[in-house]
Amino acid sequence: MAIEIEIRKFKDMNLTGGTVLEAFPSVGLVSTIASSYLISTLELDQICALESEHFPPVSMVYSTKPKFPARIYAREDLKLAIFMSEFPPHTKLHRPLAKRLLSWSMDQGCRRILSLEGLPRPGSHDVEPELKGVGSNDAARAELEKSGIEQMKIGMVPGVSGVLLNEGRWVGFNVICLLADAIPDHPDAFAAAKLVEGINKLIPEIDVESEPLLKQAAEMETYINTLKEHARPAMSEPSVQMFR
């Protein structure tokens, strides 16, 4: 039986010609950290929630308000939307989530998706993380070249990001995956800041500084670890980890 991903709309916004960021948790939580920082800094509003029987039965509480564990934030004047969540979806959800995200983006008239990912690397913060990109089609690859972001020549992109690249190629939709080297099993704000730098190059209109993100690293690590502990009992499948 097909897995259904329901999108519940709270608010209408005109996002025609805009960009959608996909930010489900990844290695080093780089996508979660980067997206949370952008949502806060750019003051995006929540416009939709994602719901499925296969999502963990939790409510995320922020400023006394309950929120679904997977949400869409947006800002109309920037023509920007962000899909984000605090839980990594089970592998069986990767394809339905990617296809739902792609169909929603196309329905909104958006012109591209930027998918944020982390690539595991050994070492410490003494070595600056690298940033690479992969484009689903010629137009997406041309954007990467114009922005000066190095393109991955050989490798593998996992999860929702990988499915988005494949589906984007299939239907001719612009999907760009940004990948930053990240330290596994540790919230890596340095790698997240590298993603923000890449987003600035691809969306110069927003021009978000990444330096404040590094200053907030310790506070963000405590916050994310707290979420991890609170949500762990709600995960119904022993094989699913709240954070990778």
Directed axis angle between helix 91-107 and helix 159-171, to 10°? 40
**Residue 168 has what pLDDT?**
98
Q: Residue 225's pLDDT band (boundaries 50, 70, 90)? A: low
Tell which residue, 28, 86, 33, 12, has the closest CA to residue 55.
Answer: 86
The number of residues making up the chain comes to 244
Tokens 């089609």 appear where?
Answer: 137
The Cα 10–Cα 74 span in angstroms is: 11
For 180-217, what is each residue's pLDDT tens digit? 999 887 788 889 999 999 999 999 999 898 888 877 66
How do beta strands 19-23 and 112-120 pair? Answer: parallel
Residue 126 clears pLDDT 80, i.e. is over it: no
Task: Give the residue-averaged pLDDT of 110-127.
Answer: 85
Output the six-digit token pair for 139: 């137009």
User: How many of the other CB atoms lie within 10 Å of CB of 136?
Assistant: 24
**Phi, psi dihedral angles at 213 (to 5 degrees):** -60, -40
pTM for the full predicted model? 0.88
SS3 (DSSP) at 100? helix
Task: Give the residue-averaged pLDDT of 15-26.
Answer: 96
The Cα 122–Cα 181 span in angstroms is: 9
For 154-171, what is each residue's pLDDT tens digit? 999 999 999 999 999 999
Residue 43: HSE in the Cβ half-sphere, 13 Å Cα cutoff: 1
Task: Give the residue-averaged pLDDT of 41-52.
Answer: 96
Query: For the chain, which domains are there?
Result: 6-232 (3.40.50.10900)
| Mean pLDDT taken over the chain | 88
